[in-house]
């Protein structure tokens, strides 16, 4: 046995455990749910004896609650990602400077990110309680009437959005800050010599060089925003009404409340296709931006 073949066998042996785990916990469930999406498979009738074809998908598209859930989800995702990027990039620019106590700021930023979403939801649920919460107490000191943060159809989605931003923005900041610290110094030195001001340096150099990092950050946060479920489950249960019924929670209700695993699987694949389409668009944007750099 020559050395190259021995190295290949060794590599396969090292990769095999990971590959087996990925197949068992990712590929097989995906295949199972894909097959289930074409059958009338429920928890009450867990058998593959009722082939429905694309009927589960059609019923999902004909369901007004699905379209409402999709609309709410798109509003949530766009708002969350946009706010996190704008605020996160601003904070990353500040932290990229030589400031005192930078390590303390890093520690504070990472605290929300490492907390479990369920714990975050419970903490904010207590803080925003309409009668006993700290938020309404401070409002009362200012002479402002109590706000039903999670019980109002006008406030619930935006409250949920701000809580998600509070927890996840540190992830955006750290990615963008890592990108900023890795930028080459030469373009900035040349711009300074040429007399470029701070605004010109930001828009024509920093943002231009940061585009690949920005696309990756937006991509990751978009995917995770579409998958938001924990906060909805803890804080609002999709209510009041269906004002916070995000698509992930809608699929959960179809599965464990409606017991219709077939339609829930179909809706899961619709969500998967939507996310994949967004990923393709963002990757193409990143590829085009990288080509323009050279």
Cβ(127)–Cβ(159) under 8 Å?
no
Q: Which 3 state secondary structure label does DSSP give 246?
A: coil
Report d(CA 77, CA 272) in Å as an integer.
15
Residues across the chain: 294
Instruction: Return the pLDDT at 78.
Output: 94
Find the helix packing angle between 261-292 and 207-226, rounded to 10°. Answer: 180
pLDDT at position 289, please?
Answer: 60
Question: Domains (ranges, CATH) in the chain?
Answer: 1-34 (no CATH), 63-292 (1.10.3720.10)
> Which of 238, 243, 246, 247 is closest to 266 using CA atoms?
247
Beta-carbon contacts of residue 30 (< 8 Å; ≥ 6 apart): none
Give the pLDDT of residue 291.
58
**Spans of the chain, pLDDT less than 50:** none
| 3-class SS of residue 170 | helix
Cα–Cα dist 140/136, whole Å = 6
Contact 162, 82 (CB under 8 A): no
Summarize pLDDT for 159-213 with one digit per residue, the tens: 999 999 999 999 999 999 999 998 888 888 888 888 888 888 888 888 888 988 9
Predicted confidence at residue 290, as pLDDT, reads 58
pLDDT at position 123: 94
């Amino acid at each position: 046995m020559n050395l190259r073949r021995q190295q290949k066998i060794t590599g396969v042996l090292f990769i095999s455990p990971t590959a087996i785990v990925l197949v068992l916990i990712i590929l097989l469930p995906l295949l199972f749910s894909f097959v289930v999406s074409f059958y009338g498979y429920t928890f009450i009738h867990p058998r593959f004896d009722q082939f429905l074809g694309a009927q589960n998908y059609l019923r999902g598209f004909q369901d007004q609650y699905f379209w409402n859930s999709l609309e709410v989800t798109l509003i949530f995702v766009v708002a969350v990602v946009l706010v996190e990027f704008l605020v996160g990039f601003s904070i990353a620019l500040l932290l990229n400077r030589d400031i005192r106590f930078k390590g303390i700021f890093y520690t504070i930023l990472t605290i929300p990110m490492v907390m479990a979403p369920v714990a975050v939801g419970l903490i904010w649920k207590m803080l925003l309680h309409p009668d006993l919460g700290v938020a309404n107490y401070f409002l009362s000191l200012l002479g402002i009437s109590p706000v039903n943060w999670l019980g109002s159809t006008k406030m619930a989605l935006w409250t949920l959005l701000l809580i998600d931003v509070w927890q996840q923005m540190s992830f955006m900041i750290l990615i963008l800050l890592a990108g900023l610290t890795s930028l080459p110094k030469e373009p900035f030195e040349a711009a300074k010599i040429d007399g470029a001001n701070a605004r010109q340096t930001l828009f024509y150099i920093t943002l231009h060089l940061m585009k690949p990092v920005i696309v990756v950050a937006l991509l990751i946060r978009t995917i995770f925003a579409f998958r938001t479920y924990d906060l909805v489950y803890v804080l609002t249960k999709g209510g009041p009404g269906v004002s916070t019924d995000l698509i992930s929670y809608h699929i959960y209700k179809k599965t464990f409340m409606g017991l219709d695993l077939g339609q829930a699987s179909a809706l899961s694949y619709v969500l998967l296709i939507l996310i994949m389409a967004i990923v393709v668009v963002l990757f193409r944007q990143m590829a085009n931006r990288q080509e323009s750099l050279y």
